[in-house]
Amino acid sequence: MKKDIILCGVGGQGILSIATVIGEAATAAGLYLKQAEVHGMSQRGGDVQSHLRLSSEPIYSDLIPLGGADLIVSMEPMEALRYLPWLGAEGTVVTASKPLVNIPDYPEEAALHAELSKVPHLVCEDIDAMAAKAGNPRGANMALLGLAAPYIGILDRNALREAMKRVFTPKGEAVVAMNLKCYDLEQS
């Protein structure tokens, strides 16, 4: 079994935290893992993306070929559109619905959603509102991971949940609890 995932967003949104949780879960499950990240101007709101390749068999490349991604998980709708060329024909996009307008000529939100609606397998939710409802506005990335969990497939929801606990435990039990609350929103 194999799963190729592209995580994308804008610097500061928590893409690398999602990658860390998935990577921790994959390692604990004994899966092969290859990861490649780009942190382009991440401290200034630039593009951040990570290729995650998970498999029960050895993997020889850390980059996902065009048309080869099974899943795109995006904290930002325009970034989801940017990586559509990597999405396979049966692939799924799980993305935030609200844009982070960080450039002067950012497209109109309606135009973004019109393009996204062309994706056959799409989950598009207001993760910022979900996280705020859970009392943790900074937990939008974990809310997004919770939405994406059913599509990851090679790792079950609980494996990701347990990995999240291990990753956030050094930050304290309150941080763990807040992030788990956001992650579990999808099941509510």
**Residue 44: pLDDT band with limits 50, 70, 90:** low
Mention every residue, 6+ apart, whose C-beta is less than 8 A from residue 14.
75, 138, 140, 141, 142
pLDDT for position 180:
95
pLDDT digits (tens, 9 = 90+) for 141-163: 999 999 999 999 999 999 999 99
pLDDT digits (tens, 9 = 90+) for 55-81: 999 999 889 999 999 999 999 999 999
Which superfamily does 2-100+108-187 belong to?
A: Pyruvate-ferredoxin oxidoreductase, PFOR, domain III (3.40.920.10)
pLDDT for position 188:
47
User: Sign of the C-alpha dihedral, residues 171, 173, 175, 181?
Assistant: positive
| Integer Cα distance of 59 and 75 in angstroms | 26
- CA–CA–CA angle 137, 143, 147 (5° rounding): 155
Going by C-alpha positions, the residue among 57, 62, 72 that lies closest to residue 5 is: 72
Question: Which DSSP state fits 17?
Answer: H
Domain ranges of the chain: 2-100+108-187
| Integer Cα distance of 104 and 45 in angstroms | 13
